[in-house]
């Protein structure tokens, strides 16, 4: 194809011209997708190894999810929570059962689930734990990523995410991730919750030391503090288990879920917890017009049904071993470190070779989409529907990029 006949350059420029520059996307303009593959406006195909930051765990346009969405579109799309609709109870029951919790509170985006968790923990602290009014604290980890609201960026340690967005919301203490001693020292009588990602996704798929999550669980139980696990990126099959906490045999007091819960079709997030925690909310104290809408519930109920089969967790475990074996073989050949669990990997590129961005651009030229983070790291999170051959293909393309 002659270069100046391609539609991509003009489409990239057009997007740049009319939007705020709060993202730095790769210069690919996608127009259709199926399973693990996307096609751009010039008809070029790419293997999607980012999967919408894990929002597409079931691949693009999974037939069961698309069918659920179509069927619901033909019946009812929105009621607001002023009324009850016929998809609501089924979704909440199914998700609560998947989480092993009594109650569910549906929202839309991941950040809203985090905000919900923070509000519920504070109210629980005042009403149940007996923390003096206005003094509740929540302990979080360095390197966290929980979203982009003003409260959430208040406890970010990433200057890009935080700088110039103050004044900041008080009430958070930040401790090093993976350090139980520092966590124990930070917890006091005002602490209502410890909020953590069981694996830090945006930080580069950082897995905490073995024993850390069970230690957090034990500390929270002993000190009457809620353990809130942000499983928005790590959850719903990504790591080979339904929840990353499960890999360490840990059950948090509250799960924060999002991304894949919407099946890559609609934004759906949720908080799941028992009644002694989520039961502190009364009418008028929290909500969202679109939270738990019929379309969202219909799709998310189907997501829960897919997860309940265990097939996706199994694929993630088995194919994850293949992915990690392939990536580990590249250590010393352009990679300096590989981390992760299941079909989720953070790779550190030798900075002397190229930046993460450069590696992603070269991968894109070879028909593989991935995204860099923090300079020299690349995250791989392909759809859990990816095949063994496709994994081998992605690893081979990475090897070729690293070999120059």
Point out the residues that are catalytic: 145, 230, 259
The residue (of 122 and 238) whose beta carbon lies closer to ligand PLP is: 238
As a whole number of angstroms, the distance between CA 348 and CA 373 comes to 10
114 scored as a contact of ligand PLP (CB under 6 A): yes
Q: How far is the CB of 270 from ligand PLP (least distance, A)?
A: 12
Write out the binding residues for ligand PLP, residues 291-320 only, by CB under 6 A.
none
Q: Looking at 40, 48, 230, 302, which residue binds ligand PLP (CB under 6 A)? A: 230
Interaction of residue 126 with ligand PLP, rule CB under 6 A: no
Site for ligand PLP (CB under 6 A): which residue of 232, 236, 244, 347? Answer: 232
CB nearer ligand PLP, residue 202 or residue 253: 202
Cβ-Cβ contacts under 8 Å for 26 (sequence gap 6 or more)? 360, 361, 364, 369, 371
Nearer to ligand PLP among residue 87 and residue 269 (C-beta): 269
C-alpha to C-alpha distance for 5 and 383, rounded to whole angstroms: 32
> What is the rounded distance in angstroms from the CA atom of residue 342 to the CA atom of residue 241?
8
Quote helix, strand, coil % in the chain, to nearest 5: 40, 20, 45
35, 106, 110, 291: residue in contact with ligand PLP (rule CB under 6 A):
110
Dist CA 366 CA 360 (whole Å):
10
Q: Lay out the site mask for ligand PLP across 195-224 (x = CB under 6 A, - = otherwise).
A: --x---xx----------------------
Nearest partner of 52 among 214, 219, 233, 178, judged by Cα: 233
**Spatial separation of the C-alpha atoms in residues 339 and 323, rounded to whole Å:** 11
Judged by CB under 6 A, the chain residues 141 through 180 that form the site for ligand PLP are: 145-147
DSSP strand pairing (368-369 vs 254-257): unpaired
Nearer to ligand PLP, 131 or 360 (CB): 360
For tokens 């997030």, the residue is 269
Q: Is the dihedral of CA 72, 74, 75, 80 positive or negative?
A: positive
Contact residue for ligand PLP among 191, 233, 239, 316 (CB under 6 A): 233
CA–CA distance, 243 with 249 (Å, rounded to integer): 10
Distance in Å, CB of 256 to ligand PLP, minimum: 7
Q: Which of residues 333-392 bind ligand PLP (CB under 6 A)?
A: none
Question: Which of 57, 72, 109, 301 is in the footprint of ligand PLP by CB under 6 A?
Answer: 109
Cβ proximity of 278 and 113 under 8 Å: no
**Cβ atoms of residues 239 and 342 within 8 Å:** yes
Q: Which of residues 18-57 bind ligand PLP (CB under 6 A)?
A: 53
- Of 75-83, 95-103, 226-234, 332-340, the window that binds ligand PLP (rule: CB under 6 A) is 226-234
The contact set with ligand PLP (CB under 6 A) reads: 53, 109-111, 114, 145-147, 197, 201-202, 230, 232-233, 258
């Amino acid at each position: 194809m002659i270069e100046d006949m391609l539609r991509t350059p003009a489409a990239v420029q057009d997007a740049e011209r009319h939007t705020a520059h709060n993202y730095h996307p790769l210069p690919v303009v996608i127009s259709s997708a199926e399973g693990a593959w996307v096609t751009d406006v010039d008809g070029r195909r790419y293997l999607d190894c980012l999967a919408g930051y894990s929002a597409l765990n079931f691949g693009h346009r999974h037939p069961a999810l698309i069918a659920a969405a179509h069927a619901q579109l033909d019946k009812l799309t929105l009621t607001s929570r002023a009324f009850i609709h016929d998809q609501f109870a089924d979704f909440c029951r199914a998700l609560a059962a998947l989480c092993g919790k009594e109650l569910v509170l549906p929202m839309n985006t991941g950040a809203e689930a985090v905000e919900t968790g923070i509000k519920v923990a504070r109210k629980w602290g005042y009403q149940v734990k007996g923390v003096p009014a206005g003094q509740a604290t929540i302990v979080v980890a360095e390197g966290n990523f929980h979203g982009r609201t003003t409260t959430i960026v208040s406890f970010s340690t990433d200057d890009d995410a935080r700088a110039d967005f103050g004044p900041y919301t008080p009430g958070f203490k930040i401790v090093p991730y993976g350090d139980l001693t520092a966590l124990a020292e930070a917890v006091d009588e005002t602490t209502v919750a410890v909020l953590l990602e069981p694996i830090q996704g945006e930080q580069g798929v950082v897995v905490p030391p073995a024993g850390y999550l069970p230690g957090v669980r034990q500390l929270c139980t002993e000190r009457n503090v809620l353990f809130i696990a942000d499983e928005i990126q790590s959850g719903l099959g990504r790591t080979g288990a339904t929840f990353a906490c499960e890999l360490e045999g840990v059950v948090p007091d509250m799960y924060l879920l999002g991304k894949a819960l919407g099946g890559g079709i609609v934004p759906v997030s949720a908080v799941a917890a028992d009644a002694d925690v989520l039961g502190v909310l009364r009418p008028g104290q929290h909500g969202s017009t679109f939270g738990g809408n019929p379309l969202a519930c219909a799709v998310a109920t189907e997501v829960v049904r897919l997860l309940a089969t265990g097939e996706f967790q199994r694929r993630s475990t088995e194919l994850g071993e293949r992915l990690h074996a392939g990536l580990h073989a590249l250590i010393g050949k352009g990679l300096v470190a590989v981390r992760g669990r299941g079909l989720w990997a953070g790779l550190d590129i030798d900075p002397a070779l190229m930046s993460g961005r450069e590696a992603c651009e070269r991968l894109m030229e070879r028909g593989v989409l991935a995204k860099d983070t923090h300079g020299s790291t690349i995250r791989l999170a392909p759809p859990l529907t990816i095949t063994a051959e496709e994994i081998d293909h992605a690893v081979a393309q990475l090897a070729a990029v690293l070999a120059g």
